[in-house]
Amino acid sequence: MNLVRTAMLIAVLTALFMGVGYMLGGQGGMMTAFFIAAAMNLFSYWNADKMVLRMNHAVEVNAQNAPEFHAIVADLSKRAGLPMPKTYLIDQPQPNAFATGRNPNNAAVAATTGLLQRLTPAEVGAVMAHELAHIQHRDTLTMTITATLAGAISMIGNYALFFGGNRNNNNPLGALGTIVAVLVAPFAAMLVQMAVSRTREYSADQRGAEISGNPRALASALAKIAQAAKRIENPLAERNPAMAHMYIYNPLHGERMDNLFSTHPNVENRIAALEAMANSGTFAPTAQAPAGPTYGEPTETAGPWGTSQSEADPNTGPWGRAPGKPNDRWS
């Protein structure tokens, strides 16, 4: 069913792209837009995950330099019946995470250093279970292609703003076509993008809680992430807002209302749904994971494990313990 929805979504965004092309250049512009959209879809299918990771300056980590984080993802992957995805860290103090990849066999999960610094291992595990749920539901392909096409439609709208007002006889709608291209098409693409994210976040919350067996840990993690995101800016996300819907929580400032214009559902509603799951009796009580050491505010020079790159010990994990030592129980 997800594959059908993905195909329908791509068709809608491609039609929007072609519509903008027609408004700006008539039939020739429409065909040009079609071939561009087809090329972008093909390119996005094979390379969107790499583009997203590169744009976020993500660094791949493994069992040697991030043993506990890697172990958490590996254990959750087994629980979910998924291949082990590649694991990445982003040197960013705002706590957040996302998943990407065209299918479960070519997937990656990324967490910010702020997530590892501010959350307990149990909460980190719950967040990564949410991201694995996106992979299992094959949301990652839809979300990355949507980000690419929505960004492209906005880009062509900006082009129309600066160049659509000239005397172009190929523009069948004249000034009206330019106005529609500038305003309506990017707005429509934005609505499609937001609708995809909002509906799938609830589904990923539910499946993530099932994978980790700890809905309250995910509820607690969302509360901490939301509180920190109000105070900590994510410059990379601000420069690339088309990627905002990929994160577990909206990394952009000023987008916290549960309305048509938010990329994510209201966090209080998500927490309430998770609490209802926890109270339903479906989940057996789980042991409280140790909170680990207390971290202060991340600094501008913070490396992947909360210290400056020059001081970082490559043999130390994200909670300050060396590889080979027992991991804290996280669920």
**pLDDT of amino acid 182:** 64
Q: What is the residue whose two structure tokens read 């005397």?
A: 167
What is the Cα–Cα distance from 251 to 29, expressed in whole angstroms? 35
Q: Which two tokens stand for residue 200?
A: 């799938």
pLDDT averaged over 10-residue windows placed end to end, the chain, 331 residues:
66 75 73 76 75 90 93 95 96 94 92 95 96 91 70 65 53 59 64 66 93 94 94 87 83 58 81 92 49 33 37 41 39 44
Which one is catalytic: 60, 68, 123, 131?
131
pLDDT of residue 254: 55
Give the per-residue pLDDT at 151: 66
Catalytic annotation on 123?
no
| Adjacency order of strands within the sheet including 59-61 | 59-61, 86-90, 107-112, 97-101
Closest to 305 measured CA to CA, from 90, 67, 69, 113: 113
Site of tokens 């214009």: 261
Contact 212, 129 (CB under 8 A): yes
- Any binding-site annotation on 245? no
Find out whether 225 and 111 touch, Cβ atoms under 8 Å. Answer: no
Beta bridge partners of 88: 60, 110
Asked if 98 contacts 132 with a C-beta cutoff of 8 angstroms, the reply is: no
Task: Give, for 54, the enclosing helix (H) or strand (E).
Answer: helix 2-55
Q: Does 210 carry a binding-site annotation?
A: no
Q: Tell whether 123 is in a known binding site.
A: no
| CA angle, residues 259, 9, 235, in degrees to nearest 5 | 55
Q: Which class does domain 46-143+174-279 fall in?
A: alpha beta
